Amino acid sequence: MFEKLFAPEVLEEAGMIIRTQFPLAIWETVYVTILSTAFAIVIGLPLGVILVVGEKNGIRPLPAWLMRTLNVVINLLRSVPFLILMVLVFPLTRLIVGTVVGTVASIVPLVIAAFPFIARLAEGSLREVNPNTIEMAQSLGASPMQIITQVMIPESVPSLISNATIAITTILGYSAMSGIIGGGGLGKIAMNYGYYRYKYLIMVAAVVLLIVLVQAFQSIGTRLAVKSDKRLKNQG
Amino acid sequence: MIEIKNLSKTFRTAEGEVEALKNVSLSIADGDIFGIIGMSGAGKSTLVRTINMLERPTEGSVVIDGVDMGALSDKELRAKRREITMIFQGFNLLMQKTCLDNVCFPLKLSGLRGEKKWREKRAMELLETVGLADKAKAYPAQLSGGQQQRVAIARALATNPKVLLCDEATSALDPTTTASILDLIRTINEKTGITVIIITHQMSVVESACRHVAILDGGVIAERGEVGEVFSHPKSAAAKRLVYPEGDAAVSAAVPGERTIRVVFNGREATATPLIAHMAAEKGIEANISYASTKTIEGREYGSMLLGIRGGGETVRAAIEYLTKSPDVLAEEVEPDV
């Protein structure tokens, strides 16, 4: 099997596929991941805020039934396996994008899968804000909205960046899975060439590139989180 | 004028109801530095939080300059809170913002959003007042505890408040830094006439900064009055515990054969003659000092001593007579416990 894997004609074919298909695939993976994460943050961050401030002892308590519903919906969405979720949201995808296959169409299930996850991560970050700091803002006459926008979110920026990094790497993994429904990118190549046509070399190359991308996102995210944190002493 | 009227606060916990404050009434005059002292769990922090309604009282009211704080709408209360600001034990600065931005924070909250230049100018003035103008661009993590509390004081003063609430503001600081922070608070009080309420568990803080004091014990005001008066003639059990922390233990530890006299210095001039030495020289009564805690407040001595006197009742009576002849000194014989 191995002599076949590295046979000259196999290597040549693999080289050609890598040269012609990989640049677009990398680009598709990156933009689908970043776009999906961005949309998921737009939906998930406000939900994370609501999860914290809307509690019984929060700064802006909301009706208990509303909080319970929100928690159940988030848990429900998080329990559905991504593969199943992609199929389940077909009607919604068709409504928004007009089709259920393709790279753009894969963004819809990615956002649906990621926003509940991001809501929970944001919830965790915002809970880390010292309650005494919130009390301080209240003592100075801050309204709940001012506490959210001027205290809770700015004070938890380093933690939010760390968690956004976790989210983006997870979504990258999901986006590779969306190759199944025709979502473009490295996942699709790994699937089409490696899984369906037994071209293992291509599959390995695609997986290695995915690993490199995860590493890149993670180290950029970690660096940004550390740099943004003014609690660390001896900074300029 | 702050009037606290029949204030009670009950917390509901899993173990049942806890009465943190029971029918507390106090009035605090404008421009005063008022200390509220008590052991932990006495209800001090709850009491100070009811003044700006961070904690809603279960019963009773807080009236500031004729305005009933409990009757205000949320919006009115937020506006009112800019006149009654607060500093905390943990400083509670925004850790991701510079000192300058921290001081600008209450100004930004008050709706002067557009006037960034004006806000920063005012914040710089305040940082100068607290002696930290050079730290404007530094982050709180780069400052010492004392410096952080100075920034917090500058922030609390930004909206020109009428009342400054200090919740254990010096409890996390060393004695030297505590003294300098209290100095700053006194100076600001003298310059601006701001009313200051200091919550503390430390006698020394009340002695060096406050004019009036209330002793809170188990959610009840045990005693109140001028600092010198309360600390020299403590009447309630709670006040005695604070003023004579040596309690009965020291008395019972007296040397066998000695009788014990408690001497209380009630604002005697600090420059007056050394009392105990003179008693030995003039009356030939030698006293064994088994405990002494005296402090000088504004040039006057306050505190107490326990003296062990050898000899019979005659000697003890003579000693008490000699000591009480001196103005602002009280003396009495105390019985050992054992």
- At B262-293, the pLDDT tens digits run 888 877 776 667 888 888 888 888 888 887 87
Greatest extent of chain B over all pairs of C-alpha atoms, in Å = 81
Q: How far apart are CA A120 and CA A72, in angstroms?
A: 12
Q: What is the pLDDT of residue B72?
A: 95
Residue of A nearest to B165 (CA): A139
The whole-number average pLDDT for the span B116-129 is: 93
Query: In chain A, which residues have their Cβ closer than 8 Å to the Cβ of B110?
Result: 141
CB-CB contact of B64 with B77 (8 Å): no
* Res. A192 pLDDT band, cuts 50 70 90: confident
Average of pLDDT values for B195-224? Answer: 92
Lowest mean pLDDT among B51-65, B146-160, B242-256: B242-256
Residue in B85, B79, B103 with CA at minimum distance from that of residue B93: B103
| Alpha-carbon gap, residue B296 to B301, rounded angstroms | 4
| Chain-chain contact of A132 with B92 (C-beta, under 8 angstroms) | yes
> Given A139, A141, A151, which is nearest B94 (Cβ)?
A151
Tell me how close the Cα of B226 comes to any Cα of chain A, in angstroms.
Answer: 29
Predicted local distance difference test score (pLDDT) of residue B338: 39
Summarize the confidence of residues B191-212 as an average pLDDT: 92
CB within 8 Å: A146 and B109: yes
Residue B250 has pLDDT above 70, yes or no: no
Among B89, B90, B72, residue whose Cα is nearest residue B81: B72
Chain A closest CA to B35's CA: distance in Å?
A: 20
CB pairs A-B closer than 8 Å: 79
Pairing of strands B33-37, B212-217: parallel
Closest CA–CA distance from residue A220 to any residue of chain B (Å)? 20
Interface of B to A at Cβ within 8 Å reads 52, 54, 77-82, 85-86, 88, 90, 92-97, 105-106, 108-110, 139-142, 155-156, 159, 165
Closest CA to A71 of A41, A50, A40: A50
Q: Which chain B residues are within 8 Å of A232, Cβ to Cβ? A: 141
User: Residue B28 pLDDT > 70, yes or no?
Assistant: yes
pTM > 0.90 = no
Tokens of B129: 């007042």
Q: Which residues of chain A make contact with B88, given a CB cutoff of 8 A?
A: 132, 135-136
- Report CA Rg, chain A: 22
- Are A150 and B108 inside 8 Å of each other by CB? yes
Q: What is the DSSP string of B89-142?
A: TT----TTS-HHHHHHHHHHHTT-TT-HHHHHHHHHHHHHHTT-GGGTTS-GGG
Written as one string, the DSSP assignment of B266-290 is EEEETTS--HHHHHHHHH---EEEE
Helix ranges restricted to H, B130-174:
145-157
Cα B161 to the chain's mean position, in Å?
20
The better pLDDT of the pair A5, B278 is held by: B278
Q: What are residue B35's DSSP bridge partners? A: B198, B213
- Output the CA angle B30-B182-A231, nearest 5 degrees: 115
- pLDDT tens profile A18-48: 888 889 999 999 999 999 999 999 999 999 9
Q: Over 70: is that where the pLDDT of B248 sits?
A: no
What share of chain A has pLDDT > 90, as a percent?
69
Please state the rounded mean pLDDT for residues A86-96: 92
pLDDT tops 70 at residue B25: yes
- Smallest CA–CA distance, residue A162 to chain B, in Å, is 16
- pLDDT tops 80 at residue A132: yes
Of B282 and A66, the one with more pLDDT: A66
DSSP, res A185 = S
Beta-carbon contacts of residue B295 (< 8 Å; ≥ 6 apart): B204, B207, B301, B302, B303
Confidence of residue A102 (pLDDT cuts 50, 70, 90): confident
Q: How far apart are the C-alpha atoms of A140 and B106, rounded to whole Å?
A: 6
**Residue A136: which of B82, B88, B139 has the nearest Cβ?**
B88
Residue to test with chain A: of B95, B102, B153, B160, most A Cβ within 10 A: B95
What is the bridge-based pairing of β-strands B195-200 and B163-167? parallel
| B99 to chain A: closest CA residue | A230
Q: Does residue B333 register a pLDDT over 60?
A: yes
Cross-chain Cβ contact B109/A150 below 8 Å:
yes
Which of A140, A151, A233 is closest, CB to CB, to B85? A140
Query: Residues A138, B195, B293, B311: what is their CA dihedral angle, to the nearest 10 degrees?
Result: -130
User: For residues B97 and B203, what is the distance between their CA atoms, to the nearest angstrom?
Assistant: 35
Instruction: Find chain B residues with C-beta within 8 A of A141's C-beta.
Output: 77-82, 106, 109-110, 159
Q: Phi, psi (5° rounding) for residue B84?
A: -130, 85
B253 has a pLDDT exceeding 70: no
Number of other residues whose CB lies within 10 A of the CB of residue B297? 16
Give contacts of A142 with chain B, Cβ < 8 Å.
78, 109
Whether B96 sits inside 8 A of A132 (CB atoms) is no
pLDDT value at residue A236? 46
Arithmetic mean of pLDDT, B96-104: 96
Q: What is the mean pLDDT of residues B114-123?
A: 87
Residue pair B331/B320 in contact (Cβ under 8 Å)? The answer is yes
Return the pLDDT at B114. 64
The pLDDT of residue B139 is 96
Distance (Å) from the C-alpha of residue A143 to the closest C-alpha of chain B?
7
